[in-house]
Structure 1
Amino acid sequence: MGRTLRSPGHLALMAALKNARLAANLTQTELAHRLDRPQSFVAKYEKGERKIEVVEFVHVVRAIGCNAVDVLEAVQHAEFAA
């Protein structure tokens, strides 16, 4: 499995969450407000400076209003394509 930070799967997760946020027409600040977190929380996981835990992932996708399965399928596809 190797390291997860900056792996193909992690890069896919970063991109999928950012794309979902943008598709929902949310800024990082707006999403952070929904999560009751600082804007830097969103910026750091989108830039890959921080990992996102499973429970945090659930909160993020709910706050965005996107489908968690779609996000995970993008990660799975990238991880096994590499």
Structure 2
Amino acid sequence: MSSMDSFLQTTSPVPDFSLDLRGTPCPINFVRTKLQLEKMAPGALLEVWLDAGEPVEQVPDSLRMEGYAIEALEDCGDYCRLQVRRSQ
């Protein structure tokens, strides 16, 4: 295992579930994210791929207001990767 592999493993935990919501408009992307989180076990990690712009500006803020913990938000070029943890 290279040092880069171990760095990626320690800084980017493997999500319990992933959603690709690229191309999904607001507020549908938030609703789908919240519905998936509600199905998951407390403490589980969800990774969501969102379009840049309004989705990445609105979805994380809305999730925070609902009590979810945003663990990562990363610009991946043509989309953004959001990691959110379900409340305990």
Q: TM-score, normalised by structure 1?
A: 0.29
More helix by share: 1
Q: Which has the larger radius of gyration?
A: 2
Which structure has more relative contact order (CA 8 Å, sep 6+)? It is 1
